[in-house]
A and B are shown apart, each in its own frame.
Chain A
Amino acid sequence: DIQMTQSPASLSASLEEIVTITCQASQDIGNWLSWYQQKPGKSPQLLIYGATSLADGVPSRFSGSRSGTQYSLKISRLQVEDIGIYYCLQAYSAWTFGGGTKLELK
């Protein structure tokens, strides 16, 4: 089974700061990687698909990148509405979520 190691587990950042979250895949998954934001009591929301493509309606301050088997989600200028838990998901072989990153305001 493919494992997704997500880091950090928690992150405290200031408004307007640049935030980066990473996921390391245990093997090659190509671009079969998506990112989600989940707010308390809500369903996850798709942010990025295909490792780098922005989902419909998602602000352009969110971006995704890939370097080999390491994937990153970047928030260019943190806003208060970006607070929540972020997950990566691989869909290359079955589906596996990363452990999540809790993003809080400093």
Chain B
Amino acid sequence: QVQLKESGPGLVQPSQTLSLTCTVSGFSLTSNSVHWVRQPPGKGLEWVGAIWSGGSTDYNSALKSRLSISRDTSKSQVFLKMNSLQTEDTAIYFCTRIHYGGYGGFDYWGQGVMVTVSS
């Protein structure tokens, strides 16, 4: 069955770089796109970025200068790197995939990983 699972450090110091991994199973990264969505504590959802089945990427315009998404198809893993972290980047980070039915919705989600930016 389709599964996504995020992993990464729970605590990152300000100005440092965040590195997260999304490991997927039950589908191929060459057939489906994977997106990152984040949620600050007690707040709403924010789309972060995506890597498409062909390997191209799209980023939230507000984060683009600090963000990089890549993948290793042989390991079924997608990577998120965000530099110059600030306290406002503290959030739960989810990876998710595009719904087969089209129209850009997300059908399967990981459990999320909490990232705290603090010294």
Which A-chain residue is minimally distant from B109 (CB atoms)? Answer: A43
How many A-B pairs with Cβ below 8 Å?
Answer: 74
- Whether the pair A95, B102 counts as a contact (CB closer than 8 A) is no
In the complex, which residues of chain B have a beta carbon less than 8 angstroms from the beta carbon of A100? Answer: 44-45
* Closest CB in chain A relative to B118 CB, distance in Å: 21
Contact status B47-A55, CB under 8 Å: no
Asked, given contacts A43-B109, A55-B99, whether A34 binds B46 with beta carbons under 8 Å apart, the answer is no
Contact of A53 among B47, B60, B101, B106 (CB under 8 A): B101
Per-residue CB proximity of B56-78 to A under 8 Å, as 1/0?
00101100000000000000000
CA of A99 to CA of B17, assembled, Å: 28
Other-chain residue from A1, A95, A98 in contact with B104 (beta carbon distance below 8 A): A95
Give, as a whole number of angstroms, the nearest-CB distance from A38 to chain B. 8
A57 to B107, CA, bound (A): 11
Residues of chain B at interface, number, CB under 8 A: 24
Check A3 for interface membership: any CB of B closer than 8 A: no
A49 touches which one: B37, B60, B94, B101 (CB < 8 A)? Answer: B101
In the bound complex, residues from chain B placing their C-beta under 8 Å from that of A95 are 35, 47, 50, 104
B99, A94: Cβ atoms closer than 8 Å: no
Nearest chain B CB to A28's CB is how many angstroms away?
Answer: 14
Q: Which residues of B contact A (CB under 8 A)?
A: 35, 37, 44-47, 50, 58, 60-61, 94, 96, 99, 101-107, 109-112
Contacts from A to B (Cβ < 8 Å): 1, 31-34, 36, 38, 43-46, 49-51, 53, 55, 87, 89-92, 94-100
